[in-house]
Structure 1
Amino acid sequence: MRRVLITAGASGIGLAMAQAFATNGDAVWVADVDGDALAALPDNITGRFCDAADEARMSEVVAEIGTLDVLCANAGIAGPTAAIEDVALDDWRTCVSVNLEGAFLATKHALPAMKKAGRGAVMFTSSTAGIYGYPNRAPYAAAKWAIIGLMKTVAMEAGPFGVRANAICPGAVEGARMEGVLAREAAAKGMTRDQVYNGYAAGTSMRSFVEARDIADMAVFLASDAARIVSGQVIAVDGHTENPDPKV
Protein backbone atom coordinates (compact mmCIF):
# COMPACT_ATOMS: atom_id res chain seq x y z
CA MET A 1 0.00 0.00 0.00
CA ARG A 2 1.47 3.33 -1.06
CA ARG A 3 1.60 6.32 1.25
CA VAL A 4 0.29 9.52 -0.35
CA LEU A 5 0.36 13.10 0.95
CA ILE A 6 -1.68 15.84 -0.72
CA THR A 7 -1.34 19.45 0.36
CA ALA A 8 -4.57 21.46 0.28
CA GLY A 9 -6.28 18.11 -0.02
CA ALA A 10 -9.51 18.71 1.89
CA SER A 11 -11.42 20.40 -0.92
CA GLY A 12 -11.40 21.12 -4.64
CA ILE A 13 -8.70 19.52 -6.79
CA GLY A 14 -6.88 18.22 -3.72
CA LEU A 15 -9.92 16.39 -2.41
CA ALA A 16 -10.56 14.87 -5.84
CA MET A 17 -6.96 13.64 -5.81
CA ALA A 18 -7.33 12.25 -2.30
CA GLN A 19 -10.52 10.39 -3.20
CA ALA A 20 -8.96 8.98 -6.38
CA PHE A 21 -5.87 7.68 -4.58
CA ALA A 22 -7.97 6.25 -1.74
CA THR A 23 -10.22 4.48 -4.25
CA ASN A 24 -7.03 3.09 -5.76
CA GLY A 25 -6.26 1.44 -2.40
CA ASP A 26 -3.58 3.88 -1.24
CA ALA A 27 -3.17 5.22 2.28
CA VAL A 28 -3.90 8.93 1.94
CA TRP A 29 -3.09 11.91 4.14
CA VAL A 30 -4.14 15.46 3.36
CA ALA A 31 -2.75 18.66 4.84
CA ASP A 32 -5.01 21.69 4.86
CA VAL A 33 -5.87 24.87 6.77
CA ASP A 34 -9.63 24.43 6.43
CA GLY A 35 -10.71 22.85 9.70
CA ASP A 36 -14.31 22.30 8.63
CA ALA A 37 -13.25 20.56 5.42
CA LEU A 38 -10.79 18.39 7.35
CA ALA A 39 -13.55 17.37 9.76
CA ALA A 40 -15.76 16.34 6.83
CA LEU A 41 -13.19 14.01 5.26
CA PRO A 42 -14.28 10.38 4.79
CA ASP A 43 -12.83 7.76 7.10
CA ASN A 44 -10.42 6.43 4.47
CA ILE A 45 -8.56 9.77 4.24
CA THR A 46 -6.48 11.12 7.14
CA GLY A 47 -6.46 14.88 7.61
CA ARG A 48 -3.89 17.06 9.32
CA PHE A 49 -4.11 20.80 9.94
CA CYS A 50 -1.14 22.41 8.21
CA ASP A 51 -0.33 25.68 6.51
CA ALA A 52 1.71 24.69 3.45
CA ALA A 53 4.02 27.66 4.02
CA ASP A 54 4.72 26.71 7.67
CA GLU A 55 7.97 24.74 7.51
CA ALA A 56 7.90 23.45 11.08
CA ARG A 57 4.39 22.08 10.75
CA MET A 58 5.02 20.63 7.29
CA SER A 59 8.08 18.83 8.64
CA GLU A 60 5.98 17.38 11.46
CA VAL A 61 3.29 16.07 9.10
CA VAL A 62 5.82 14.43 6.77
CA ALA A 63 7.71 12.90 9.71
CA GLU A 64 4.47 11.46 11.10
CA ILE A 65 3.70 9.70 7.83
CA GLY A 66 7.21 8.35 7.35
CA THR A 67 8.43 7.35 3.92
CA LEU A 68 6.12 8.77 1.27
CA ASP A 69 5.56 7.07 -2.05
CA VAL A 70 3.60 9.94 -3.58
CA LEU A 71 3.55 13.66 -2.87
CA CYS A 72 1.01 15.95 -4.51
CA ALA A 73 2.23 19.51 -3.89
CA ASN A 74 -1.14 21.03 -4.59
CA ALA A 75 -1.57 23.96 -2.19
CA GLY A 76 -2.38 27.23 -3.87
CA ILE A 77 -4.47 30.37 -3.82
CA ALA A 78 -5.75 32.50 -6.68
CA GLY A 79 -4.20 35.72 -5.46
CA PRO A 80 -5.32 39.20 -6.52
CA THR A 81 -6.93 40.04 -9.85
CA ALA A 82 -5.49 43.42 -10.84
CA ALA A 83 -3.14 45.16 -13.22
CA ILE A 84 0.42 44.72 -12.00
CA GLU A 85 0.74 48.37 -10.97
CA ASP A 86 -2.25 47.90 -8.68
CA VAL A 87 -0.99 44.75 -6.93
CA ALA A 88 -0.03 45.35 -3.31
CA LEU A 89 3.31 43.88 -2.26
CA ASP A 90 1.71 42.02 0.65
CA ASP A 91 -0.77 40.37 -1.73
CA TRP A 92 2.09 39.42 -4.07
CA ARG A 93 4.07 37.88 -1.22
CA THR A 94 1.10 35.94 0.14
CA CYS A 95 0.28 34.46 -3.25
CA VAL A 96 3.86 33.48 -4.01
CA SER A 97 4.37 32.11 -0.50
CA VAL A 98 1.42 29.73 -0.60
CA ASN A 99 1.80 28.63 -4.22
CA LEU A 100 5.58 28.38 -4.51
CA GLU A 101 7.04 28.15 -1.02
CA GLY A 102 4.37 25.62 -0.05
CA ALA A 103 5.43 23.35 -2.91
CA PHE A 104 9.10 23.84 -2.04
CA LEU A 105 8.64 22.99 1.64
CA ALA A 106 6.55 19.86 1.05
CA THR A 107 9.13 18.61 -1.45
CA LYS A 108 12.08 19.54 0.74
CA HIS A 109 10.80 17.41 3.60
CA ALA A 110 9.42 14.51 1.55
CA LEU A 111 12.39 13.92 -0.76
CA PRO A 112 15.07 12.64 1.65
CA ALA A 113 13.09 9.54 2.63
CA MET A 114 11.99 8.98 -0.99
CA LYS A 115 15.60 9.12 -2.18
CA LYS A 116 16.70 6.77 0.58
CA ALA A 117 13.94 4.30 -0.37
CA GLY A 118 14.87 4.57 -4.05
CA ARG A 119 11.36 5.34 -5.20
CA GLY A 120 8.72 8.03 -5.26
CA ALA A 121 6.63 10.35 -7.38
CA VAL A 122 6.12 14.06 -6.85
CA MET A 123 3.29 15.87 -8.62
CA PHE A 124 3.24 19.65 -8.62
CA THR A 125 -0.01 21.43 -9.35
CA SER A 126 0.95 24.30 -11.63
CA SER A 127 -1.55 25.88 -14.04
CA THR A 128 -1.95 26.95 -17.62
CA ALA A 129 -0.91 30.26 -16.03
CA GLY A 130 2.47 28.54 -15.71
CA ILE A 131 2.60 28.07 -19.49
CA TYR A 132 1.17 31.40 -20.69
CA GLY A 133 1.26 34.86 -19.23
CA TYR A 134 -2.12 35.79 -17.76
CA PRO A 135 -3.22 39.44 -17.71
CA ASN A 136 -4.27 40.77 -14.31
CA ARG A 137 -2.92 37.66 -12.55
CA ALA A 138 0.78 38.52 -12.18
CA PRO A 139 1.51 36.97 -8.74
CA TYR A 140 -0.31 33.74 -9.57
CA ALA A 141 1.27 33.39 -13.01
CA ALA A 142 4.75 34.12 -11.67
CA ALA A 143 4.38 31.49 -8.94
CA LYS A 144 3.01 28.86 -11.32
CA TRP A 145 5.85 29.44 -13.81
CA ALA A 146 8.31 29.09 -10.93
CA ILE A 147 6.74 25.78 -9.90
CA ILE A 148 7.64 24.37 -13.31
CA GLY A 149 11.27 25.39 -12.81
CA LEU A 150 11.19 23.81 -9.36
CA MET A 151 9.70 20.61 -10.75
CA LYS A 152 12.31 20.27 -13.48
CA THR A 153 15.09 20.77 -10.96
CA VAL A 154 13.59 18.17 -8.61
CA ALA A 155 13.30 15.74 -11.54
CA MET A 156 17.00 16.20 -12.31
CA GLU A 157 18.17 15.98 -8.70
CA ALA A 158 15.97 13.07 -7.63
CA GLY A 159 15.86 11.02 -10.84
CA PRO A 160 19.11 9.14 -10.11
CA PHE A 161 17.48 7.97 -6.87
CA GLY A 162 14.40 6.54 -8.59
CA VAL A 163 12.15 9.51 -7.80
CA ARG A 164 10.09 11.14 -10.55
CA ALA A 165 8.63 14.64 -10.69
CA ASN A 166 6.04 16.12 -13.02
CA ALA A 167 3.80 19.19 -13.15
CA ILE A 168 0.10 19.12 -13.92
CA CYS A 169 -1.27 22.33 -15.41
CA PRO A 170 -5.04 22.58 -14.97
CA GLY A 171 -7.02 24.99 -17.08
CA ALA A 172 -10.15 26.66 -15.76
CA VAL A 173 -11.53 24.20 -13.21
CA GLU A 174 -15.17 24.19 -12.18
CA GLY A 175 -15.50 25.04 -8.50
CA ALA A 176 -15.47 27.66 -5.78
CA ARG A 177 -12.00 29.05 -6.49
CA MET A 178 -12.76 29.63 -10.15
CA GLU A 179 -16.06 31.26 -9.25
CA GLY A 180 -14.10 33.79 -7.23
CA VAL A 181 -11.81 34.46 -10.18
CA LEU A 182 -14.81 34.89 -12.48
CA ALA A 183 -16.44 37.36 -10.10
CA ARG A 184 -13.28 39.45 -9.74
CA GLU A 185 -12.58 39.51 -13.48
CA ALA A 186 -16.20 40.42 -14.23
CA ALA A 187 -15.97 43.34 -11.82
CA ALA A 188 -12.60 44.48 -13.20
CA LYS A 189 -13.74 44.30 -16.83
CA GLY A 190 -17.31 45.54 -16.44
CA MET A 191 -18.68 42.21 -17.64
CA THR A 192 -21.08 39.64 -16.25
CA ARG A 193 -19.92 36.42 -14.65
CA ASP A 194 -21.38 34.42 -17.54
CA GLN A 195 -19.59 36.52 -20.13
CA VAL A 196 -16.25 35.86 -18.44
CA TYR A 197 -17.09 32.16 -18.03
CA ASN A 198 -17.95 31.84 -21.70
CA GLY A 199 -14.76 33.67 -22.61
CA TYR A 200 -12.66 31.13 -20.72
CA ALA A 201 -14.50 28.22 -22.35
CA ALA A 202 -14.19 29.79 -25.79
CA GLY A 203 -10.43 30.07 -25.23
CA THR A 204 -10.07 26.27 -25.36
CA SER A 205 -10.27 24.06 -28.43
CA MET A 206 -12.69 21.77 -26.56
CA ARG A 207 -14.86 24.74 -25.50
CA SER A 208 -15.04 23.40 -21.98
CA PHE A 209 -13.97 23.94 -18.39
CA VAL A 210 -12.10 21.17 -16.57
CA GLU A 211 -13.48 19.13 -13.67
CA ALA A 212 -11.41 18.33 -10.59
CA ARG A 213 -11.65 14.61 -11.33
CA ASP A 214 -9.78 15.19 -14.61
CA ILE A 215 -6.80 16.49 -12.65
CA ALA A 216 -7.09 13.66 -10.13
CA ASP A 217 -7.07 11.04 -12.87
CA MET A 218 -3.85 12.50 -14.28
CA ALA A 219 -2.22 12.50 -10.84
CA VAL A 220 -3.07 8.84 -10.28
CA PHE A 221 -1.67 7.97 -13.70
CA LEU A 222 1.57 9.89 -13.14
CA ALA A 223 2.05 8.11 -9.81
CA SER A 224 1.51 4.68 -11.37
CA ASP A 225 3.90 2.16 -12.89
CA ALA A 226 2.32 2.98 -16.25
CA ALA A 227 4.22 6.29 -16.02
CA ARG A 228 7.39 4.78 -14.57
CA ILE A 229 9.64 6.59 -17.05
CA VAL A 230 7.67 9.85 -17.26
CA SER A 231 9.52 12.60 -15.40
CA GLY A 232 10.30 16.28 -15.78
CA GLN A 233 7.16 16.83 -17.83
CA VAL A 234 4.68 19.70 -17.94
CA ILE A 235 1.27 18.20 -18.67
CA ALA A 236 -1.70 20.45 -19.35
CA VAL A 237 -5.16 19.15 -18.46
CA ASP A 238 -7.09 22.05 -19.87
CA GLY A 239 -9.08 21.15 -22.98
CA HIS A 240 -6.23 22.76 -24.95
CA THR A 241 -6.04 26.41 -24.01
CA GLU A 242 -5.71 28.54 -27.13
CA ASN A 243 -6.28 31.98 -25.68
CA PRO A 244 -4.91 32.86 -22.23
CA ASP A 245 -6.72 36.23 -22.26
CA PRO A 246 -10.38 35.21 -22.01
CA LYS A 247 -12.76 37.41 -23.94
CA VAL A 248 -16.32 37.05 -25.09
Structure 2
Amino acid sequence: MSLRGRTALVTGGGGPLGRAFARALADSGARVVLVGRNEQALKETAGLVGAGALTAVCDVADPASVTALAAELADEDVSLLVNNAGVAGPVRPLVDIEPDEWDDVFAANVRGVYLMCRAFLPPMIAAGRGDIVNVASVSGKRPLLHRTPYTASKMALLGLTRTLAGEVGPQGVAVNSLSPGPVRGPRMDRNFRMTAELTGCTVQQAEADFASRAALGRLVEEHEVAAALVAMLAMPGLCGADIDLSAGMVAPA
Protein backbone atom coordinates (compact mmCIF):
# COMPACT_ATOMS: atom_id res chain seq x y z
CA MET A 1 0.00 0.00 0.00
CA SER A 2 1.05 3.62 -0.36
CA LEU A 3 1.20 6.05 2.54
CA ARG A 4 2.37 8.84 0.28
CA GLY A 5 1.22 12.23 1.50
CA ARG A 6 0.87 11.14 5.12
CA THR A 7 3.05 12.06 8.09
CA ALA A 8 3.69 9.30 10.64
CA LEU A 9 4.98 9.97 14.15
CA VAL A 10 6.79 7.06 15.76
CA THR A 11 7.65 7.18 19.46
CA GLY A 12 10.59 5.13 20.68
CA GLY A 13 12.07 5.97 17.30
CA GLY A 14 15.65 5.42 18.44
CA GLY A 15 15.10 1.80 19.49
CA PRO A 16 15.35 -1.30 17.31
CA LEU A 17 11.61 -1.81 16.82
CA GLY A 18 10.96 1.90 16.33
CA ARG A 19 13.70 1.89 13.72
CA ALA A 20 12.03 -1.02 11.89
CA PHE A 21 8.66 0.75 12.00
CA ALA A 22 10.16 3.98 10.67
CA ARG A 23 11.89 2.29 7.76
CA ALA A 24 8.76 0.34 6.77
CA LEU A 25 6.60 3.46 6.92
CA ALA A 26 9.10 5.46 4.88
CA ASP A 27 9.35 2.66 2.33
CA SER A 28 5.56 2.90 1.99
CA GLY A 29 5.82 6.61 1.21
CA ALA A 30 5.14 8.25 4.57
CA ARG A 31 7.03 11.25 5.91
CA VAL A 32 8.36 10.05 9.27
CA VAL A 33 8.79 11.96 12.53
CA LEU A 34 10.99 10.12 15.03
CA VAL A 35 10.44 10.83 18.70
CA GLY A 36 12.41 9.60 21.70
CA ARG A 37 14.66 10.57 24.58
CA ASN A 38 18.02 9.78 22.96
CA GLU A 39 18.87 12.38 20.33
CA GLN A 40 21.84 10.46 18.95
CA ALA A 41 19.79 7.29 18.50
CA LEU A 42 17.08 9.28 16.72
CA LYS A 43 19.62 10.76 14.33
CA GLU A 44 20.98 7.30 13.58
CA THR A 45 17.48 6.11 12.73
CA ALA A 46 16.88 9.17 10.58
CA GLY A 47 20.05 8.37 8.65
CA LEU A 48 18.68 4.92 7.87
CA VAL A 49 15.22 6.20 6.95
CA GLY A 50 16.56 8.76 4.50
CA ALA A 51 15.88 12.33 3.47
CA GLY A 52 12.80 13.96 4.92
CA ALA A 53 12.81 12.21 8.28
CA LEU A 54 12.40 14.55 11.23
CA THR A 55 13.61 13.98 14.80
CA ALA A 56 12.34 15.44 18.07
CA VAL A 57 13.50 14.72 21.61
CA CYS A 58 10.62 14.06 24.00
CA ASP A 59 9.86 12.11 27.16
CA VAL A 60 6.38 10.78 26.38
CA ALA A 61 5.63 10.23 30.07
CA ASP A 62 6.14 13.92 30.87
CA PRO A 63 3.14 16.20 30.13
CA ALA A 64 5.28 19.32 29.62
CA SER A 65 7.56 17.50 27.20
CA VAL A 66 4.63 16.17 25.17
CA THR A 67 2.99 19.61 25.10
CA ALA A 68 6.23 21.11 23.82
CA LEU A 69 6.46 18.38 21.17
CA ALA A 70 2.93 19.10 19.94
CA ALA A 71 3.79 22.80 19.67
CA GLU A 72 7.01 22.00 17.81
CA LEU A 73 5.10 19.88 15.30
CA ALA A 74 2.08 22.16 15.00
CA ASP A 75 2.75 22.74 11.30
CA GLU A 76 3.07 19.01 10.55
CA ASP A 77 -0.07 17.14 9.46
CA VAL A 78 0.44 14.10 11.67
CA SER A 79 -2.31 11.69 10.63
CA LEU A 80 -0.62 8.51 11.82
CA LEU A 81 0.62 7.97 15.39
CA VAL A 82 2.56 4.85 16.35
CA ASN A 83 2.86 4.63 20.13
CA ASN A 84 5.89 2.39 20.35
CA ALA A 85 7.82 3.87 23.30
CA GLY A 86 7.94 1.66 26.36
CA VAL A 87 10.10 -0.07 28.93
CA ALA A 88 10.46 -3.72 29.89
CA GLY A 89 10.62 -3.22 33.63
CA PRO A 90 12.01 -5.55 36.28
CA VAL A 91 12.20 -9.33 36.04
CA ARG A 92 11.42 -10.43 39.59
CA PRO A 93 8.55 -11.83 41.67
CA LEU A 94 5.91 -9.20 42.43
CA VAL A 95 6.77 -9.15 46.15
CA ASP A 96 10.32 -8.07 45.28
CA ILE A 97 9.29 -5.18 42.99
CA GLU A 98 9.45 -1.68 44.42
CA PRO A 99 6.58 0.80 43.94
CA ASP A 100 8.77 3.23 41.99
CA GLU A 101 9.72 0.44 39.58
CA TRP A 102 6.03 -0.33 39.05
CA ASP A 103 5.25 3.34 38.49
CA ASP A 104 8.11 3.75 36.00
CA VAL A 105 6.70 0.96 33.81
CA PHE A 106 3.16 2.38 33.83
CA ALA A 107 4.47 5.89 33.17
CA ALA A 108 6.21 4.84 29.97
CA ASN A 109 3.84 2.13 28.76
CA VAL A 110 0.42 3.60 29.59
CA ARG A 111 0.70 7.24 30.68
CA GLY A 112 2.90 8.01 27.67
CA VAL A 113 0.32 6.62 25.26
CA TYR A 114 -2.45 8.61 26.95
CA LEU A 115 -0.44 11.83 26.74
CA MET A 116 0.52 11.34 23.09
CA CYS A 117 -3.06 10.54 22.08
CA ARG A 118 -4.33 13.51 24.05
CA ALA A 119 -1.90 15.82 22.28
CA PHE A 120 -2.19 14.55 18.70
CA LEU A 121 -5.82 13.44 18.44
CA PRO A 122 -7.47 16.88 18.18
CA PRO A 123 -6.06 17.68 14.69
CA MET A 124 -7.03 14.19 13.47
CA ILE A 125 -10.56 14.64 14.79
CA ALA A 126 -10.77 18.08 13.18
CA ALA A 127 -9.64 16.60 9.84
CA GLY A 128 -11.99 13.64 10.17
CA ARG A 129 -9.23 11.10 9.52
CA GLY A 130 -6.29 9.46 11.20
CA ASP A 131 -4.78 6.25 12.52
CA ILE A 132 -3.35 5.40 15.92
CA VAL A 133 -1.52 2.13 16.46
CA ASN A 134 -0.54 1.29 20.03
CA VAL A 135 2.24 -1.27 20.37
CA ALA A 136 1.02 -3.63 23.07
CA SER A 137 2.31 -7.16 23.65
CA VAL A 138 1.17 -10.74 23.64
CA SER A 139 2.27 -10.62 27.30
CA GLY A 140 -0.76 -8.46 28.01
CA LYS A 141 -2.97 -11.44 27.17
CA ARG A 142 -1.00 -14.42 28.49
CA PRO A 143 0.90 -15.08 31.72
CA LEU A 144 4.55 -14.04 31.84
CA LEU A 145 6.05 -15.01 35.17
CA HIS A 146 8.08 -12.44 37.11
CA ARG A 147 6.97 -9.63 34.76
CA THR A 148 3.83 -8.33 36.47
CA PRO A 149 4.38 -4.58 35.90
CA TYR A 150 4.99 -5.12 32.19
CA THR A 151 2.10 -7.52 31.61
CA ALA A 152 -0.31 -5.37 33.64
CA SER A 153 0.70 -2.26 31.69
CA LYS A 154 0.16 -3.96 28.36
CA MET A 155 -3.23 -5.27 29.43
CA ALA A 156 -4.13 -1.71 30.40
CA LEU A 157 -3.01 -0.56 26.96
CA LEU A 158 -5.40 -3.00 25.30
CA GLY A 159 -8.26 -1.54 27.33
CA LEU A 160 -7.19 1.99 26.43
CA THR A 161 -7.10 1.06 22.74
CA ARG A 162 -10.57 -0.46 22.62
CA THR A 163 -12.20 2.31 24.59
CA LEU A 164 -10.52 5.10 22.63
CA ALA A 165 -11.52 3.40 19.37
CA GLY A 166 -15.14 3.65 20.46
CA GLU A 167 -14.70 7.32 21.32
CA VAL A 168 -13.01 8.57 18.16
CA GLY A 169 -13.92 5.97 15.54
CA PRO A 170 -17.17 7.79 14.73
CA GLN A 171 -15.05 10.87 14.02
CA GLY A 172 -12.92 9.09 11.42
CA VAL A 173 -9.94 8.06 13.54
CA ALA A 174 -9.08 4.36 13.69
CA VAL A 175 -7.37 3.14 16.86
CA ASN A 176 -5.86 -0.34 16.98
CA SER A 177 -3.14 -2.22 18.79
CA LEU A 178 -0.37 -4.48 17.57
CA SER A 179 0.76 -7.17 20.00
CA PRO A 180 4.14 -8.65 19.13
CA GLY A 181 5.36 -11.78 20.81
CA PRO A 182 8.99 -12.00 21.83
CA VAL A 183 10.92 -9.95 19.27
CA ARG A 184 14.53 -10.92 18.68
CA GLY A 185 16.79 -8.08 19.77
CA PRO A 186 18.49 -6.34 22.70
CA ARG A 187 15.41 -6.20 24.94
CA MET A 188 14.75 -9.92 24.77
CA ASP A 189 18.47 -10.64 25.21
CA ARG A 190 18.31 -8.63 28.42
CA ASN A 191 15.22 -10.49 29.60
CA PHE A 192 16.83 -13.85 28.93
CA ARG A 193 19.92 -12.84 30.91
CA MET A 194 17.79 -11.71 33.85
CA THR A 195 15.67 -14.86 33.72
CA ALA A 196 18.83 -16.97 33.72
CA GLU A 197 20.14 -15.13 36.78
CA LEU A 198 16.81 -15.56 38.55
CA THR A 199 16.31 -19.25 37.80
CA GLY A 200 19.87 -20.55 37.57
CA CYS A 201 19.56 -21.78 33.98
CA THR A 202 21.71 -20.68 31.07
CA VAL A 203 20.78 -17.78 28.82
CA GLN A 204 20.42 -20.24 25.95
CA GLN A 205 18.05 -22.39 28.01
CA ALA A 206 15.99 -19.33 28.97
CA GLU A 207 15.59 -18.39 25.30
CA ALA A 208 14.80 -21.95 24.21
CA ASP A 209 12.16 -22.33 26.94
CA PHE A 210 10.52 -19.06 25.95
CA ALA A 211 10.54 -19.86 22.23
CA SER A 212 9.09 -23.33 22.87
CA ARG A 213 5.80 -21.71 23.88
CA ALA A 214 5.27 -20.48 20.32
CA ALA A 215 3.62 -22.67 17.69
CA LEU A 216 6.42 -21.80 15.26
CA GLY A 217 9.03 -22.48 17.95
CA ARG A 218 10.87 -19.20 17.46
CA LEU A 219 10.97 -15.52 18.22
CA VAL A 220 9.55 -13.01 15.77
CA GLU A 221 11.81 -10.61 13.88
CA GLU A 222 11.67 -6.82 13.91
CA HIS A 223 10.98 -6.60 10.18
CA GLU A 224 8.01 -8.97 10.59
CA VAL A 225 6.44 -6.69 13.20
CA ALA A 226 7.02 -3.67 10.97
CA ALA A 227 5.39 -5.47 8.04
CA ALA A 228 2.37 -6.20 10.26
CA LEU A 229 2.05 -2.49 11.05
CA VAL A 230 1.94 -1.56 7.37
CA ALA A 231 -0.53 -4.37 6.69
CA MET A 232 -2.83 -3.05 9.43
CA LEU A 233 -2.85 0.37 7.78
CA ALA A 234 -4.00 -1.31 4.55
CA MET A 235 -7.17 -2.51 6.30
CA PRO A 236 -9.53 0.50 6.23
CA GLY A 237 -12.19 -1.28 8.28
CA LEU A 238 -9.85 -2.15 11.13
CA CYS A 239 -10.77 -0.29 14.33
CA GLY A 240 -10.67 -1.32 17.98
CA ALA A 241 -8.77 -4.45 17.02
CA ASP A 242 -5.68 -6.13 18.37
CA ILE A 243 -3.39 -7.94 15.95
CA ASP A 244 -1.39 -10.77 17.53
CA LEU A 245 2.02 -11.30 15.89
CA SER A 246 3.66 -13.79 18.20
CA ALA A 247 4.63 -16.83 16.12
CA GLY A 248 1.73 -18.56 17.83
CA MET A 249 2.73 -17.82 21.42
CA VAL A 250 0.62 -19.68 23.97
CA ALA A 251 0.40 -19.50 27.75
CA PRO A 252 2.71 -21.82 29.68
CA ALA A 253 1.05 -24.88 31.18
TM band (smaller chain): over 0.9
Q: SS where residue 191 of structure 2 aligns? A: helix
Residue by residue over 1:132-186, the C-alpha shift from the partner in whole angstroms, topping out at 9 and shown as x without a partner, is 1221001001100000000001100010111101111111101111111111011
Q: Which amino acid aligns with 2:168?
A: A
Distance 2:183 2:41 in 1: 19
Shift of 1:210: 0.7
**Is 1:48 matched up with 2:56?**
yes
Q: Which amino acid aligns with 1:75?
A: A
Residue by residue over 1:62-112, the C-alpha shift from the partner in whole angstroms, topping out at 9 and shown as x without a partner, is 333333211001111100000000001110000110111111111111111
- Structure-2 residue corresponding to 1:27: 31
Distance 1:60 1:198 in 2: 44
- Structure-1 residue corresponding to 2:7: 3
Shift of 1:113: 0.6
- Structure-2 residue corresponding to 1:176: 186
Of 196, 207, 212 in structure 1, the residue corresponding to residue 217 of structure 2 is 207
1:1-248 matches, within 5 Å, as 1-40=5-44, 41-42=46-47, 43-44=50-51, 45-65=53-73, 66-223=76-233, 226-244=234-252
TM-score by length of 2: 0.93
The number of aligned residues is: 243
Shift of 1:5: 0.3
Identity between Structure 1 and Structure 2 (%): 32
Q: SS where residue 22 of structure 1 aligns? A: helix
CA contact (8 A) 1:10 1:47 kept: no
Q: Which amino acid aligns with 1:133?
A: P
Shift of 1:61: 2.1
Shift of 1:244: 4.4
TM-score by length of 1: 0.94
Shift of 1:36: 2.2
CA contact (8 A) 1:69 1:119 kept: yes
Distance 1:164 1:83 in 2: 37
CA contact (8 A) 1:75 1:98 kept: yes
Residue by residue over 1:30-62, the C-alpha shift from the partner in whole angstroms, topping out at 9 and shown as x without a partner, is 111122212312143211111110122222223
CA-atom RMSD, angstroms? 1.2
Distance 1:237 1:53 in 2: 26
Distance 1:59 1:220 in 2: 28
Residue by residue over 1:179-224, the C-alpha shift from the partner in whole angstroms, topping out at 9 and shown as x without a partner, is 111110110011110001101111000011011111111111222x
Structure 1 residues 10, 244: closer, same or farther in 2, change over 3 A?
farther
CA contact (8 A) 2:6 2:77 kept: no
Distance 2:229 2:113 in 1: 15
Q: SS where residue 78 of structure 2 aligns? A: coil
Q: SS where residue 227 of structure 1 aligns? A: coil
Distance 1:14 1:48 in 2: 14
